[in-house]
Amino acid sequence: MRLLCFMIWISTVGMSYTFGQNLVLNPSLEEYISCPKEDGDFDGLVKDWRSYELPVTYLQCDYRPDWSLRVDPYDGEAMCAMRYFDPAGVGDPRRGYVHGTLSSKLLRGKRYYIEYFLHLLFGINLHDQFSVYFTQDPLDQIIKNDDIPPYFVLSAQINNQKGILKDTINWIPMTGCFVADGGEQYFSMGNFLHDSMVNFINFVHHSGSMEFIDYVRLFEVDDLVYTDTILCQNTGFVPNTYDLKGLKTMLDGVEINRFVADQEGIYEIEYVLDGCGVIGRSMVEVIPCRECAQNITPSYSICIDSILSLEDLMADNLIHTDPTTGEIVTEFSRGQVGTYQLDIFSVDCSVVGTADIEVVDCSACKLYLPNVFTPNDDGINDFFRAFAACDVVSFEMSIFNRWGDMVFHSSDMNLGWNGYHNNTPADNGVYVYMIRYKQNGYPFKSIKGDVTLLSWR
């Protein structure tokens, strides 16, 4: 048997990393003030978002016009759709822009990484201009759009580097990295180039483009790298904590999704981010499992032939094993008085130890139970119950049918089963009972057996 060990040691040993935060408020557009009712509904509906120029459509609250039905949101239940580009002279030259808010102002000189997801509508114009522009103030307070052309022409910090996007089947991750000037707390998404600078493929039967946007995230780059870490052997962790599509984590030149500490030693993980290159390295020291564990020595006491259910301790992630065979032990019972030992491990490597089990003679208090009862209301043997020739201070009995369903439970030894289950006579047949009881001065004793129900009228 091989035991896996995993440990988070809060004080000195274990995972230690920075806690990055997505700075975009309402990143999946899930939070809304009111539901959309028609195309172009957006402003005043979506918390922390607004739009500019050509109306943007908010898709939430089951509002899904026919043209949007083939695209499901990337994350959650909401998304928005807008027109990034329409060649001059073909249709409406205006463009849509969505404007989001950050939870805090960006810090001067710090690097930031943005990632969002874009989906193209099938059969439209395909182009290459998808940008994000960060500002200290809302866009309408910076630029007055009174001149021709009727769209914003700006030098955005984040621009598409993938050329003309052609995948109309899948959500496309859009990524970028930039250095903040400081104080930016807003961002706008759209096409910020003049029509003459846009590369596109024009489908004659459609007049413009249409794109869906969802799940916008912005992180400070330094927050994406784990700090130096100590792990117990045979453990692991996912270096790309936020599942960023633009982040690669490398070990010895090979990309990894999960680091597995299968051998002792010191390892270096390299973090490579789209638009930023190598953003950092973290050292991982792998130490033996035994150095992480706390030693415990619990003790138990049971009666001869009683059953100690060790599975009850699995809630604490403890595994008991036979020290001779190494096999996992879920139930313990012995027919002779004595002290026995089991080895203890925890699945998280935080505990090792030895359990002492004392088996004592409890024959002074024996329960008597019939093996057949006939609940036919004739006043003879109509109930199945336990009898004892001693003072029982604690008692529990459960009875199960052949499918494992509990048909009766009682904590009162004087209260027997009348053969009914859910106010209906139970079927004739064999039933299993499990009893746990305690006599003054003795440990708890557990017994199980079967009883046959017969002779319903």
Residue 254 burial by CB count (10 A; 0-12/13-18/19+): exposed, middle or buried? Answer: exposed
Please state which CATH number belongs to domain 367-453.
2.60.40
Which pTM value belongs to this model?
0.64
Q: Which residue has the higher pLDDT, 312 or 61?
A: 61
What per-residue confidence (pLDDT) applies to 8? 30
In CATH, the architecture of 49-221 is: Sandwich (2.60)
Nearest Cα neighbor of 101 from 26, 35, 193 is 26
Mean pLDDT of 427-441: 89
What per-residue confidence (pLDDT) applies to 358? 85
Q: Give the largest Cα separation in the chain, rounded.
A: 102
**Which region, left, alpha or beta, applies to residue 385 given φ > 0 means left and ψ of -120 to 50 means alpha?**
beta
Q: What is the DSSP string of 232-273?
A: ETTEEE-S-TT--TTEEEEETTEE-SSEEE-SSEEEEEEEEE
Would the pLDDT of 456 be above 70?
A: no
C-alpha distances (whole Å) from 240 to each of 47, 172, 237, 245 are 29, 19, 9, 9
Taking only the tens place, the pLDDT of each residue in 111-134 is 999 999 999 987 677 889 999 999
Mean pLDDT of 339-358: 79
Q: 49-221 with 293-360: one CATH topology?
A: no
Would the pLDDT of 455 be above 90?
A: no
Mean pLDDT of 300-316: 73
**Mean pLDDT lowest among 55-69, 146-160, 184-198, 406-420:** 146-160
Q: What is the mean pLDDT of the chain?
A: 85
The residues spanned by each domain of the chain are 49-221, 225-290, 293-360, 367-453
Q: Which residue has the higher pLDDT, 88 or 386?
A: 386
**Which region, left, alpha or beta, applies to residue 191 given φ > 0 means left and ψ of -120 to 50 means alpha?**
beta
> Confidence band (pLDDT; 50, 70, 90) for 181?
very high
**225-290 falls under which CATH superfamily?**
Immunoglobulins (2.60.40.10)
What per-residue confidence (pLDDT) applies to 263? 86
> Confidence band (pLDDT; 50, 70, 90) for 191?
very high
What per-residue confidence (pLDDT) applies to 13? 39
> Which pairing describes strands 351-360 and 294-296: parallel, antiparallel, or unpaired?
parallel
Given the candidates 2.60.40, 3.90.820, 1.10.3470, 1.20.272, the CATH classification of the domain at 293-360 is 2.60.40
Q: Which residue has the higher pLDDT, 390 or 279?
A: 279
> Confidence band (pLDDT; 50, 70, 90) for 312?
low
Tell me which range, 228-232, 294-298, 401-405, is most confidently predicted by mean pLDDT.
401-405
**Mean pLDDT lowest among 209-213, 292-296, 336-340, 388-392:** 292-296
Mean pLDDT of 175-198: 94
What per-residue confidence (pLDDT) applies to 412? 92
Q: What percent of the chain has pLDDT over 90?
A: 49
Mean pLDDT of 231-257: 90
Judged by DSSP in three states, 140 sits in: helix
Q: What percent of the chain has pLDDT over 70?
A: 87
